[in-house]
Amino acid sequence: MDVLFEPLSYAFFNKGLIVATLSGALLGFIGVFIVLRGMSYIGHGLSHSIFGGFAASQLFAAQFYMLGAGLWGVASAIAITTVARKGRVGADAAIGVITTASFALGVALFAKFGTSGPSFENALFGSILGISIQQIIGLVAVSILAAVFVFLRYRALIFSTFDPDVADVSGVRVARLEAMLMIVLSLAILATLTVIGVTLVAAMLVIPAVIGRMLTDSFGKMLAWSTGIGMFCGFVGMYASYYAGVPSGTMIVLVGAAIFVIVLAITGSRGLRRSAGLDKHHDVAELAPVVTR
């Protein structure tokens, strides 16, 4: 039991454990909608894009760098959607250009000017060091926002994820709902960036949701499984990170990957059949109906 309690004597670990557990739950929760909409690539791109905002904001407004990075992420999400909707450039290309350019800018700014916040490596792969109370409050606030958003728009979210065209003619404002989901996604990535890391956030959006899909055929149960698995990955991964002495994000993702393998072994072909087609990419422009009424 000492193995479990010994790290808890350190304040930094306690904060890290809370943030990692909550981050896993939040990403697992939002990840269900991202994966089922075939938007995994957008999650991946946005996390890289936010890294650029993270670096730039530290230079120009160090005290408000989280706010700056958040606005940068939301702006990137809107830019991707707008460029893709114009139809001249596909969503893949829009994400590829906008997010990698933003990421490259972040790397250049880090290299040239350094940082007053997390180190380059910590920003990329996550760290449990230096987590502030403000960050915990921010993460709790984003988690509550995400939960309230999904709770109040649950049926419309399922409808527009499953069948956007019919949802639109049935009175669901699909384009607006999608924009709100993108904003919640941006905020979730931003709030979890510190512990999970830029390069690994996308994995935590995908892995718990895919495992959840392998375990059930019900949307509500998949949401519960994915949130619980994300939470478990964050909790166990944080302990593993402490004892292995490696970045927290890597261990959280590795725990998720291990659970995936175990669930795959247990569910076999049924699990594979359930998760088939989850990697189908939906073009952003395709997701929105032609005209709303």
Partner 1 sequence: MTGTGVGEILVRLDHVSARYDKQIVLDHVDFHVHEDQFTGIVGPSGAGKTTLLRLLLGTLKPVAGTLTTEPDLRVAYVPQLETVDWNFPITVFECVLMSRTHGRRLPWASAAERARVMSVLDRLGIADLAQRHIRELSGGQQQRMFLARALLREPQLLLLDEPTSGVDVSTRHDILHLLGDLHEDGVAIVLTTHDLNGMAAHLPHLVCVNKRIVADGPPAEVITPAVLEETFGARMEVLEHLGMLVVVDGAPEIRTEAM
Residues lying near partner 1 in the complex (CB under 8 A):
36, 151-156, 158-159, 161-163, 165-172, 213, 216-222, 273-274, 276-278, 280, 289-293
CA dist 200 and 197 (Å) reads 6
Specify the DSSP class assigned to residue 37: T
Specify the DSSP class assigned to residue 45: H
Q: How far is the CB of 162 from partner 1 (least distance, A)?
A: 5
Q: At what angle do helices 174-196 and 40-60 cross, to 10 degrees?
A: 60
Q: With respect to partner 1, which residue has the nearer C-beta, 90 or 130? A: 90
Q: How far is the CB of 84 from partner 1 (least distance, A)?
A: 16
Q: How far is the CB of 275 from partner 1 (least distance, A)?
A: 8
Number of CB atoms found within 10 A of residue 64's CB? 13
- The encoded tokens of residue 13 equal 């670990």
Q: With respect to partner 1, which residue has the nearer C-beta, 79 or 264? A: 264
| Dmax (CA) of the chain | 62
Q: With respect to partner 1, which residue has the nearer C-beta, 139 or 214? A: 214
Q: With respect to partner 1, which residue has the nearer C-beta, 41 or 242? A: 41
Q: Which residues of 271-291 are buried (b: 16+ CB within 10 A; e: fewer)?
A: beebbeeeeeebebbebbbee
- The encoded tokens of residue 189 equal 């990535």
Q: How far is the CB of 207 from partner 1 (least distance, A)?
A: 16
Q: With respect to partner 1, which residue has the nearer C-beta, 190 or 222? A: 222
Q: How far is the CB of 165 from partner 1 (least distance, A)?
A: 7
